[in-house]
Amino acid sequence: MFFDLSLPEIVVLLGLGVVLFGPDKLPQAAASAARFLRQVRAFSDNAREDLRKELGPEFKDLNFEDLNPKTFVRKNLLGEGEELRDLRKDINGTLNEAVNLNAAAVPAPRTTGAANGSAALPAGEQPPYDADAT
């Protein structure tokens, strides 16, 4: 709603304002708060325009909301950015091609008849012994 405040929170803030400032000074305090918010808004608009002028015509379409970290993550990392989506498709296509080329280049393993995939030894032959492995 208003600054992410719900209706009960706004009512509590208004009640607190009446208690703190009193009914006589509350309109005056609200007017000064509104004047302060207008000044802050004007200051931020002027700063934004100065930044656009200083950056030049290359950045005339710069959207300052995109620089907010939450917006950046939502747009670019969670799938709303077209540039990253296209880049991801290109990378996935390249990886799939590389995997398919490697799979075609590697010969299929020979099957031997042994249950565990190792070659059966001829009768009477000792299996190889690796002293470092034991």
Q: Across the 134 residues of the chain, what is the mean pLDDT of every consecutive 10-residue run?
A: 76 88 87 94 90 81 77 70 73 83 64 58 80 74
Query: In the prediction, which pLDDT does 1 show?
Result: 40
What's the pTM?
A: 0.42
Query: In the prediction, which pLDDT does 108 show?
Result: 58
Q: Which of 35, 17, 16 is nearest to 26 (CA)?
A: 17
How many of the other CB atoms lie within 10 Å of CB of 43?
10
Q: CA-CA distances (angstroms) from residue 6 to 1, 15, 109?
A: 6, 14, 67
